Structure 1
Amino acid sequence: MTIDQDIVQAFAPTGKLRASINLGNPILAHRTPDGSAGGVSVDLATALAARLGVPLELVVVETAGKSVEIVAAEDADVGFFAIDPKRGASIAFTAPYVLIEGYYLVRQDSPVQSNADVDRAGTRVVVGKGSAYDLFLTRELKHADIVHAPSSQTVVKTFLASQYDVAAGVKQQLEADIAGMTGLRLLGERFMVIQQAMGVQKTRGDKAAAFLAQFVEDMKGSGRVTDALRDHGIQGATVAPLA
């Protein structure tokens, strides 16, 4: 495939595609045994660099907020994000490629039995600072108090250490963090569907945004996203429908 050189320049002005990889979402990225980054987002970044015909450089970060920050500042060329209107001020998102779920975690003896019970005065909900569910719950919860953990990976630790009322997060992350523990339970319904997409700084132009959007559709339609989820053993996430 012949790629317009204006597109290549838009995505790789340094001669390399610098892809921001957020390790804070274990569904999409993780550390491999040799210490490098791997996962669904790395596979997609590799495919995008190959399509552009440029080398790939991974810019690995620990939180979603940091990933947004470096792409917005153009210290990375492309990133992998949950779609959110606040982030959309500077970043052009594709349609989602993966859908995952946000859930609440409480103690076994908590009076909180359903999602509707969470948004009450005096309830303290722990979230990962700058995460998609932090942004969402900050808008949606009218009575409960938001407490910020440093990252999604530290939500359960913060929740347990300070006797807060509810922990919020990606279902799979919460399940992994409480594996082997007793006295805790997830509520029986999701509070949001998190739409995971790719994004590029809006200053890179409409053509770049359209190219990235088509790339994501190609990855879904060709089965590459399905293959990546399978290859990395990801359960509980679904491939988003074609836009």
Structure 2
Amino acid sequence: MSDASALRKVMAPTGVLRATINVGNPVLAGLDVEHQPFGVSVDLATLIAHRLEVELELQVVASAGEAVDVVSREEADMGFFALDPRRGESIEFTAPYVFIEGCYLVREDSPITAQEEVDRLGQRIVVGKGSAYDLYLSRTIEQAELVRAPTSPKVVAFFREHQLDIAAGVKQQLEVGIEEFGGMRLLPGHFMTIQQAMGVPKGRSPEAAAFLSAFIEEVKAQGEVARLLEKHGIKGASVAPSA
């Protein structure tokens, strides 16, 4: 068996590369007018399938939590995720390829003006269930209450509907909510840097993770990740440095 055949066997054991695409993160993917997925993660998955010389099957999900579950159960061969220790229990990650800011949003008339004023008794922060910032804030928030919206894209609407104090999420997603609804503002700065990486099920052969790790370092170094961010008009995200 050739090295290429062996690699295809561990990366795409069904003969097709099954990749999860989370359209709940607008930095990485979305749906076009015909409800077809597009974006940075779609283009990277396409490049990987081409490299392996296999067909690509995109498994579109609405949230990061769903993507993690699908790959953890080995119902998909790889996915695109934010790094998190809890997720690392079932997924083998590459180094990050993109950095995204996690920010807070409040109403325009809110007395909250700074990051330091968020974690206080009596205040409620809405997060997308199972998102990277949900996992992070679950570990770090000590006094405020976390309230979970079904998915990240629904955070701003959930925040408004339930009259909550603070919404947490990907900066670009919160900005879309401000543009759509008005009457809200971002707090200055960010509470975390979300490190976006790729991953395979933990039980896969080490060669699978090694292949993805080498691939992502190559496309970062060649400027391909930067080109894809520009192609899709992504602002406020940066290419991660070489591992």
TM, length-normalised to structure 2: 0.97
Deviates more, 1:15-24 or 1:221-230: 221-230
How many residues align structurally?
A: 242
Q: Distance in 2 between matches of 1:118 and 1:157?
A: 20
Q: Which residue of 2 aligns with 1:154?
A: 154
Q: Distance in 1 between matches of 2:204 and 2:181?
A: 47
1:84 and 2:84 correspond: yes
Q: Which residue of 2 aligns with 1:211?
A: 211
2:179 partner SS = coil
1:37 and 2:7 correspond: no
Tell me which amino acid in the other structure corresponds to 1:54. Answer: V
Q: Which residue of 1 aligns with 2:234?
A: 234
**RMSD of Structure 2 on Structure 1 (CA):** 1.1
Q: Distance in 2 between matches of 1:180 and 1:230?
A: 23
Q: Which residue of 2 aligns with 1:69?
A: 69
Gaps of 5+ in 1: none
1:192 and 2:192 correspond: yes
Tell me, yes or no, if the aligned pair for 1:114 and 1:188 is still in contact at 8 Å: yes
Q: CA deviation at 1:233?
A: 1.0
User: Structure 1 residues 180, 211: CA separation in 2 closer, same or farther (over 3 Å shift)?
Assistant: closer
Q: Which residue of 2 aligns with 1:21?
A: 21
Q: CA deviation at 1:180?
A: 5.1
Q: Distance in 2 between matches of 1:182 and 1:215?
A: 41
Q: Distance in 1 between matches of 2:176 and 2:197?
A: 23
Report matched runs for 1:48-197 at 5 Å: 48-179=48-179, 181-197=181-197
Tell me which amino acid in the other structure corresponds to 1:121. Answer: L
Deviations 1:28-47 (A, max 9, x none): 00112222111000000000
Tell me, yes or no, if the aligned pair for 1:80 and 1:198 is still in contact at 8 Å: yes
Deviates more, 1:112-121 or 1:89-98: 112-121
Which portions of structure 1, spanning 4 or more consecutive aligned residues, are displaced by more than 2 angstroms? Answer: 2-6, 180-183
2:213 partner SS = helix
Tell me, yes or no, if the aligned pair for 2:4 and 2:52 is still in contact at 8 Å: no
1:211 partner SS = helix
Q: Distance in 1 between matches of 2:176 and 2:107?
A: 16
User: Structure 1 residues 182, 37: CA separation in 2 closer, same or farther (over 3 Å shift)?
Assistant: closer
Tell me, yes or no, if the aligned pair for 1:3 and 1:52 is still in contact at 8 Å: no
Identity %: 56
Q: Distance in 2 between matches of 1:180 and 1:95?
A: 34
